[in-house]
Each structure stands twice: as structure tokens, then as C-alpha cells.
Chains A and B, each alone.
Chain A
Amino acid sequence: MSVNPVLMQVFKNRFAAIAEEMGVTLNRTAFSPNIKERRDFSCAIFDRCGDMIAQAAHIPVHLGSMPLSVKAAIGSGSMREGDMVMLNNPFQGGTHLPDITLVAPVYTGSDDTEPSFYVANRAHHSDVGGMTSGSMPLSTSIYQEGVIISPLKIVENGEIDRKLMDFLLTNVRTPHEREGDFAAQIMANLTGAQRSRDLVDKYGLATVNRYADSLNDYSERITRQAIAAIPDGSYEFEDFLDGDGIKQKNIRLAVRLEIDGDEALLDFTDCDRQVSGSVNAVYAITLSAVLYVFRALVSEDIPTNAGCLRPLQVITRKGTIVDAEFPAAVAGGNVETSQRIVDVVLGALARACPEKVPAAGQGTMNNTTIGGIDERTGRPFTYYETLAGGVGGTARNQGESAVHSHMTNTLNTPIEALEYSYPFQVTEYSIRKNSGGKGRFSGGDGLVREIRLLSDAEVTVLSERRSHPPYGLFGGNPGKPGRNLIYRDSQERQMPGKFSERLHKGDCIRIETPGGGGYGVTPDTDEHS
């Protein structure tokens, strides 16, 4: 059947609008600041096979992994009208435990036996149990990271399964907040399902399906064009994670990128084995990171969908840092290792098409979790936040300062909101001057966030690029590595990149995030380090 170029554009808009409206609903109705203020969530619509049709531009690390969640949900048994399946198991379609995905089928005909579409959303919950508040621990096994949810039907025939929900809520530190967020996730899916049905009412299922397929072909075509513009060849790059926070240091990530016409093969088999600590990434994360890079190489506004993946082949070896096996600890793989995967793919691309990619950005999300009992109210609290840093310079411009790069794009929590909600006093929030690597186009600067605790609390930091700095390109200097500091009684203590520590009322925690790498040789300045 023929595809009309006009309807194609119309459907492109309509599908995107569905995913975006789901996001608006989730954002507006959620309870936790993590979702509402920081917008750490994603929404997407999938076809009857679970292939992604469109995803709202929310959080890139969810890109490649959402479809695997949906497929895992489909594989777990039939979903009837009014059902929703929840999951977070990284070894069954998830990424790390705080990211909980909710999948709903969309039935469009009254006597359909199979769903016509699926809608799904994923939100980062600020606590899912486990060994430390905030569930981003320095763990050595998945079991320490929180409650594991393999695909299970949490909503059946429009009713929340109360027993399951109560069981889940019993296993988390802030049940009240979780329940509110789950309600928002349910609402988002209901919205998405309704809008999908509206679309079918207007155009008919056959037409909607035809254009869903065509949009995948469309994104595939444009992605292929972008790859075809890269010179054929084999390009290699390696970089390192500082360590796993337990025992391994200098964990190697390496990629061999082969460009062949309009297809790309990314071979990660040479990466180090999975480690004891929590920086292991499951395959879904590696796929997301690769997809992000190639999506950004496309300058057109295309739907991010299954078609984008077709020209890409991502090869990994099971049991490695980029394809971890059960029961690896994975809390940090999603947030930290994902960034390093991007760094190595970009490093390889820099050898193929130097003008199209930046030097390394901060390469970490500086995950900071603080939890305890608020002395002022006697109530428990959990605060989780990621901090921005420098972006790498490019062939055209300096890297931006104090902004999130690559795999995340979450907002900060306003200082005044923070001090209303938590027993903290923020004592500094500034740009870390001169932390970007110098170059013809310098990297952007990182930032400084310093918090004084007004109650005893447990502080966990999961950060990278504290020893291996963000690389520069073509003679540009590397960015300054980040630093984590604790002050007690005016004594400064430099902390490792990953640590968990009980701090006292009055102590300060200071995070200085890395600068981006510079690009090209600085004219008229002496070159060093």
C-alpha cells in the first residue's frame, strides 16, 4: 500500500504528541521531586510487536532499554484490557532497580484478542529499598540494591492488585511517595492508551499501523544516511572507569567501530569482565548509549524508534562490564558506565568524522544520595540528585558549562525547595571555574555543590572521572577530574569517587564535578599536560 508523504508527517506529529502528553501527565501528577522537578522519566508508544514507534525526548538512557522492557512484559503472559505490567529487573528488561517501568496494552476493537499497541513509561523512583537510602548503593550484588520486580501484573482489569502493591510498598523507605508516583505512572499510561484509541477512531487501525511501520522505515532511512556520511573503515577507542568502589580500579571499556556503507557495527567484546561493585551495565544500557550517539549524529527531527536501531549492530560478550550477568550489582551501570560507553563510541567516531563529535563531557552524573531522619520533624527523608558538569568542546564551539551531557538531562532541585524539604543548608552552588580543558575550543566548566547537614545522615556518592579525566581531542587538554570532599570541624577530607558514609549534623559534603575536554590546540598558549 502506498504511503502518503503528507500523512507521514501528520502521523509523525501525532505519535510524538501521544508520547509527550503521557510525559506531561506523569510529570504533573507524580509526587516525588525526582520525577516532577527533575523529570527523570520517559514515555513511549510501541506497536503490536513491542517495537517502539515514538518516544518523547526525555532521558536518553531509557532509549534503547524501554523496548526491551516492553518485550519482557509481553513475554510474561497475556495482557488484557485494563491490565498493566510493572518491572525493574535489570536481567529481564530493566536497567537498574530505581527505574521502574509500567507497560499497558492498548486494545482498539471491542473483540480484539491481541493489543494493537502498547504504551509504557519509566520513572526513576528515589527509593526502592536495599542497603542505603535512595537505592544507589555501593553494592556487590543485585540483592543489596532493592526490591526486584520481574514483570508482574500490578493492575488487573483496571484494579490495582492491593496485595502486590502493599508488598512492594513494605519494601521501600518512602512508601507514601512511591504510591503517589505509581499512581502517576498509571495515569500516564491511561492517557497514552486513550490517545492511541482516538487516533485509531479517526484513521482506522490499518492506516495507523501502516504509518507506524512507515515511520520506522523513515527513521531507519535517515539514520542510514547519517552513517553513510561517515567514511568506511574500522576505528578503535578505549577509555577507563575509575573503579567499582569496592576493589577493581581502572576498568577498561573498548570499542571497535566498523562503518560499512550505511551500516555500523560496534564490537564491545574486548571490554573488561563485570566487576564486584555496582558499575556493571546490562546490555540494554549499552544499546541505549549507542543509539543515543547515532541519534545525535542525525540532524533532522526524526522519531526515535525501532527503525533507528536497524542499521546498528551492537556486539557484546556476556559477563562483561557492558553486558553484565545476574546477580551483578548494577545500580551505577545505568548512570555512570552508560556515560563511558558514550565516551568510547564518540572517541572512535572522532577518528572517523572529527568534525561531527565533541571531546569528552564530564562523563558522570555525580549521583548523590542523602538519607536519614529529619530532626526537625522526626520523619525519614531521602534525597537523590545528579549534578551537571562540563561538556566537551567541538570543532565549532566551546563546550557548555554546568549542564547535563549525553545520557541524562535531569533538572536540579532548587536550593529553596531543597531547604524546605530536607534538613540541609546549601552553602555553595557555583560554576567550577577553569575546570574545562583548554583547547582551540575549550571544554565547559563543571560545577560545585556544597551542602551542610542539619541532621545526621547517610551520604552515598556514586561518581566517576575522579582519576581518569574527560579526554580532550586533537591537542585539546583534558577536563579537570571531579572531587568529592567532606568537611568536619573545618577538617577537609578528600573522598573517593564512590563512597558511603554516615555524617553528623554540621558536616559538609562538597562535590566538584568534572570539566569537559578541550578540542584542538590552543593558539598561542603553551601546551602541557
Chain B
Amino acid sequence: MLIIGVDTGGTFTDFIWKDGDQWGEYKLLSTPANPAEAVLEGIEHIAANRDYSLVHGSTVATNAILEKRGALTALITNRKFEDVIEIARQNRGRLYDFFYRKNQPLVPRELRFGLPGRVNQVGEIIEELTEADIETLLDPLATAEVESIAVSFLFSFNNPEHELMVRKVLARLGIPLSLSHETLSEFREYERTSTTVINAYVSPKMRRYITFLSDRIGEHPFRIMQSNGGSISAETAMRESVRTILSGPAGGAVGAFELGRMAGFPRLITFDMGGTSTDVALIDGKLPLTMESSIAEYPVKVPMIDIHTVGAGGGSIASIDAGGSLKVGPESAGADPGPICYGKGEKITVTDANLFLGRLIPDHFLGGHMDLDLSLLQQHFATLAEKLKLSPTELAEGVLDVANTTMDRAIKVISVERGFDPREFTLFSFGGAGGLHAAYLARDLNMPQVFIPRNPGILSAAGMLMSDVIKDYSQTVMLNDEEIAEETLEQQFQPLEMRGREDLREEGVAAERIELELYLDMRYQGQSYEIMVPYGADFREQFHRLHEKTYGYCNREKAIEVVNVRVRALGRPEKPEFPRLPYVGERLPAAALLDERPVFFDGNSEKTRIIQRDQLQHGNLIDGPAILVEYSATVVVPPFATGRVDQFGNIILTIEH
């Protein structure tokens, strides 16, 4: 059966498909006004009236928030707590800014409604809520013409009665409701409310988008990628849209994970460098999850692949700051005006520096379809270099060094700051610009190898194709040390396990392919951060060990707490295998060698081979310096690196330290 993975990006919509042993890929310009158009066009091109199933990563939810174009949303909460969502955590995002303003809440004050009723920390109702109380909201909600409603009461995860009452009474309005105990059954009211509001805010948009697509796709199975690295049915995605935010980057991480595993690299640090930002993630034999994500400053506490983003990319602008030092970013030339070499820009960018040093090859950039004008660069580099008392070449290498420091720091955030040593990992580089920087980053971080997958430009779509069906469940239980007994925990897990199995069966997963992973969020009594520990007979010991790994110490004498129980329900499809290439040998085929040109490395101009990547064969060895070009990506093999082509067509660079 034909399976299609499709990832909608800002510029391109990427397709990858598999039919039996056949693989293929396809790229189309995106259609931002209605992203579904490009998706449908691609499907028609690939499927041509055959049966197929579709996995789709969509940016509809993300964009609704970033552009503040979600549904008109109301919030119903406890009376006298309507402002929790506006107060947030009471801190300011920038310390030294007299003009600081917060990102305003997605629900304005006039659409936040308070009701009586209060539940306490053990789930007792200490103040009643009546249906009559709720009915008072019918008129104002109808008058305001709200399109979606979020409901979040204090401690609803311990007793959802009041939230359920609201659903019952407001049902007659026919407006979709998001209840906080269903969206995120965990304590910390601001984060839970924020997550619920986001769900309410994006769900109607997502519903329209999915309905539009479904109407045209018809009977073909259709799944949506989530930010947790798994996919869900389109039907579920309409209700739980908050789980699809950041699904594109999640696809990339899944792709890296699966490709790495196939090729024998289970421990990876992924590095996806784009035009304006760079995403990094650490994969230690499994996909990394975080419960502490946010989008546009709004916390989203559902599990997501732990991806760290920094605002530096190919378009980052180089300038001299007020203190006379060379600065790169955070300003970006974006797509318009873009780098100087694209023809319109006036400011030197990272891309310009790569071109200036000879590391980007104009004839082969996007297959030569995009003109890169080297001649425009000379004057700009000369001028800026003179101001900095550097040579133009030093300036160009300096721009890359400074940009690399930002990337380097991003990688440290996800590795050393979490107790991992980057030297034990392989740098998995994808995205158009990653290969230009990866070897240098690996050298800075003492990482031994760099992995560049085949088709680095469509890795996200590939990840979607290979993703599991995943549903996450959690429940705050707040058990102290004396209360933690096996049967108590089993009791808490049971309803989540049941829901997991049921939901996955509804998703069409056969019972024997369902796997349940159980976790406990644990901490020492008195701490406020939890560690997610796989649940098993030795969970206490596991906790101490993980605590030591993450935080550098543990204390087996100390009382512990179980804050949340978590269940991950997975439906594992059969993993598609990529075709293996026959071993040919170390010598490059003659057709691969395109040219020889001077390229600057560490201040010296070195004669460098330009190699057509598509022509490389399994076993080929590439001594640096060399530049590998392909349609959507360039890989620099500096003099201190050696490349090797593996049986899947991936390139592994070994870095000399």
C-alpha cells in the first residue's frame, strides 16, 4: 500500500512516499493562503487515483498562534481567578527593559468569565457550583459570538465535576469546549489553563483545515503528526489540536532517530539549521520528551519532543555592535531582502560569508536555479572588514565562528546542562545549511562524527512516514513517600491504560501492536521539578540514578514523591526500511567530481574538490577539503574531516581532534 508523508513548510511542501520497496520524494512550493492546496496537488501527483494513506505535519495550529489568528475564545474559570492567565508567573521576560510589555493573553479580559465553585487539593468540593450559575453565562457567551470555549477550574484534575457540569449546561450553545482536566490533567493552574486555552484557540482552525482536506481525500486513511513525535487520526487532531503544535520539527527528530537507528547511530544530537532559526535536540536511544515547552511565551505542557530553538541561521546579519565587536544576529535578513548574494540584501549574512569563502557553490545552489552573485559581496566585506581591522577573509570566517558559538551554546543547553557529554554523541545534521557548519561545530564540541542523511532537505516528511501512533496520558496524583505502594500506583495507572488501549483501537491499531509505556514523574519531597522515571519494580532506584545523572547528586535517604503518573500508548507500524546500496569501493566515481576550486579554510586558500553527492556510492571515501553539493543542501568537508558513504547513502564525517 502507498504511504505518503507530507510536511508543510514556509517555503516548500515536502513529500516522501513509499510503495512496497519503492521510495520517492517530491517537493512543491507551499500555498500559504490555503496550505491544503499544495498538499492535494502533491497527493494527486504521487497517488494518481491509487489507494494511499497519508501522514501530515501541519503548521496550521502553530501559525494560528504566532499570527494571533485563532478562534475568538472565551475562558471560564473560578470566580476571582479570571486573571491567572494574564498574571502568568508575574515575571518579566526582559530584565533590563523599562518599556517591557508581555505578550497579551489569547483571551482578553472581557471574555474571561468567573463562576462560583471550588475544589481543594484532595478533590473535595468546598464550594458548590450550580447549573443556574452556569446558565448566567449563556447570554454573554452568545452575545460575544465566541467560537470556542476553554474551561479551567482549580484542582479539576482531582475532581472534574464542575468542568463537566459546564460542558453539560453549555452544550446547547453548540460551541466547542476544551476542558482543562481533559487537555492536561496536571497541577499548576497557569500552565494547565494556558495549554487548555491554546487548544480552544487553535482547534476550530484545525477543524476547518482538516475537514477541507478530508472532504477531498475521502476514504483514504489520514493521520496528523503531533509534537510528541507520534501521529494521531485527523479526527482526534481536531479535538486535541494543541498536540500538533511544532509537529514539523518533531518530524525531523523522528526522522533523525529512525535513520540513525537504521544506520547504527542510536545516540544523536540533531542540528537543523534553517534561514532564520536553528533547532537542536538530543536523542539518547529514544526520542527526548519535555513537558516544559512554550510557544510565543505561552506555556504548552503536553509532552513534546524536546527541541531547543535559537534565532540564528543562514540569514542572520553580521554587524558591529556599539562596543566594537562583531555581532551575528539575532536580526535576520529572512527571505526578503535576504542575503546580499540573493541580489536585494544590503547586509552581510551567514550565507554571504559561506559564499565569500567559496563554501557555497553558486552553480549548484538549489540546482543552479537561484542566482548567487559573488561579485556583490567584495565591496561589502571590504568595508565591514576595514572597520573591524580584519581582512575580508578573516571577517567571513569570523562571521561563521560567531554564528557557530550561538549554535554551540544551543547544543550545550540540551546536552551538558542536562547531564550529557556531547563527545558520546554523533552530530546529525540536516536542513539546507546544516552541512556548511556541522563539521566545525563537531570540532568545537569534541564530537567524533557527523551524520548527514540522504536527502537532508526532506527529513521531516520522512519522519512522519516512520512515526508511531502515539497518545499521551497523565494524571497528577501527588503521593508522598508513605503513600507510594505498588497497588496504589497500579490503581492510578489503570484508567489511563484502559483509555490508551481503547483510543488506540479507535485509531485503528490492532490490539497486538499496542504497547503501553508507564512513567512516574518523581521528585524529592519539597522539590518543585519532577523527573520522568520509567515505571518498573526498581522505580525508586531508577529515580535516584536519573536524579544523579541529571542533577549531579542523589540522596537515597530522602523522602520521595510521585507527582504524576503517565501512560504513553504506542501503536507501532512496521518500520519501512530504506533500500541498501551495494558496496562499490572507496574510489569516487569520475562522474561525482565536478570541479576543483580554491576555498578558504582557517585563513588559507586550499584547492578543494567539488563533488556531486547524488553520484556517490556506498563505500566512497572523501578526504577533506571537499564540498558536496546536492539539490537542497551543501556539505563542507574541511581539511580536518574525512567522509564516508554508508549503505543507505548517508555520509558520515569523522572529525580529527
Binding site for B on A (CB under 8 A): 4-6, 8-10, 12-14, 17, 21, 24-25, 28-33, 36-37, 39, 57-58, 60, 176-177, 180, 183, 187, 190-191, 218-219, 221-222, 225, 292, 295-296, 298, 300, 302, 356-358, 387-388, 391, 394, 396-398, 400-405, 409-412, 414-417, 419-420, 425, 427-431, 447, 450
Contact = CB atoms under 8 A, between A and B. Distances in A.
B553 A187 contact: yes
A420 B189 CA distance: 12
B209 interface: no
Contacts of A31: 524, 526-527
Contact of A28 (B121, B328, B529): B529
B326 A8 contact: yes
Contact of A414 (B83, B187, B394): B187
A57 B95 contact: yes
Nearest to B100: A400
B336 to A, nearest CB: 25
Interface stretch (B40-48, B86-94, B496-504, B603-611): B86-94
A441 B389 CA distance: 45
B409 interface: yes
Given A9-B328, A31-B527, A36-B528, A292 B401 contact: no
Contacts of A5: 320, 324-326, 388-390, 398
B157 to A, nearest CB: 9
A450 B78 CA distance: 14
Nearest to B550: A28
B95 A60 contact: yes
Nearest to B84: A429
Contacts of B389: 5
Given A24-B417, A429-B83, A429-B87, A420 B121 contact: yes
Contacts of B190: 414
Nearest to A385: B90
Given A6-B398, A57-B95, A218-B323, A388 B90 contact: yes
A480 to B, nearest CB: 17
Interface in B96-120: 96-102, 118, 120
Contacts of B401: 6, 10
Contacts of A358: 98-99
Given A6-B326, A29-B552, A420-B121, A402 B524 contact: no
Contacts of A397: 99, 101
Contacts of B528: 33, 36-37, 417
A429 B126 contact: no
B572 interface: no
Q: Chain B: interface residue count, which band?
A: 35 or more
B484 interface: no
Which 4 A/B pairs are nearest by Cβ-Cβ distance?
Answer: A6-B398, A388-B90, A8-B325, A218-B323
Nearest to B531: A28
B219 interface: no
Contact of B321 (A300, A405, A425, A447): A300
B81 A429 contact: yes
7 contacts: A6-B325, A17-B412, A218-B324, A396-B99, A414-B189, A416-B154, A419-B155
Given A5-B324, A417-B528, A21 B416 contact: yes
A53 B573 CA distance: 54
A300 B327 CA distance: 11
B87 A410 contact: no
A13 B405 contact: yes
Contacts of A8: 323-326
Given A8-B326, A9-B326, A403 B91 contact: yes
Given A28-B550, A36-B527, A416-B188, A300 B390 contact: no
B323 A219 contact: yes
A417 B390 contact: no
B82 interface: yes
B190 to A, nearest CB: 6
B90 A403 contact: yes
A176 B558 CA distance: 10
Contacts of B188: 414, 416-417
Contacts of B26: none
Contacts of A9: 325-328, 402, 405
Contacts of A222: 321-323
B323 A187 contact: no
Given A17-B409, A400-B101, A400-B102, 6 more contacts: A4-B390, A5-B326, A5-B390, A28-B550, A39-B91, A391-B100
Question: Most chain-A Cβ atoms within 10 A of its Cβ — which of B80, B98, B389?
Answer: B98
Contacts of A409: 91-92, 95
A510 to B, nearest CB: 11
B323 A300 contact: yes
Contacts of B89: 411-412
Contacts of A12: 325
Interface string B182-195: 00000111110000
A416 B121 contact: yes
Interface string B304-337: 0000000000000000111111111000000000
A204 B553 CA distance: 30
A28 B419 CA distance: 12
B64 interface: no
A356 B325 contact: no
A412 B155 contact: no
Nearest to A202: B444
B90 A221 contact: no
Nearest to A58: B95
Contacts of A24: 417
A382 B394 CA distance: 58
B150 to A, nearest CB: 17
B565 to A, nearest CB: 16
Nearest to A413: B528
Nearest to B480: A377
B80 A402 contact: no
B583 interface: no
Interface in B361-404: 388-390, 394, 397-398, 401-402
B539 interface: no
B478 interface: yes
B385 to A, nearest CB: 10
Contacts of A356: 98
Nearest to B80: A428
Nearest to B527: A31
Given A300-B323, A429-B87, A25 B100 contact: no
A17 B155 CA distance: 38
B236 interface: no
B551 interface: yes
A292 B95 CA distance: 9
Nearest to A303: B323
Contact of B96 (A14, A295, A402): A295
Contacts of B321: 222, 300
A517 to B, nearest CB: 13
B80 A427 contact: yes
A416 B159 CA distance: 13
A357 B327 CA distance: 27
B417 A221 contact: no
Contact of B92 (A13, A36, A298, A403): A403
Nearest to A296: B96
B455 interface: no
Contacts of B632: none
A58 B398 CA distance: 30
Question: Most chain-B Cβ atoms within 10 A of its Cβ — which of A302, A391, A394, A415?
Answer: A415
Nearest to A356: B98
A63 B185 CA distance: 40
B406 interface: yes
B390 A6 contact: yes
Nearest to B526: A31
B551 A29 contact: yes
Given A36-B528, A295-B96, A415-B189, A402 B90 contact: yes
B516 to A, nearest CB: 28
Contact of A13 (B98, B406, B550): B406
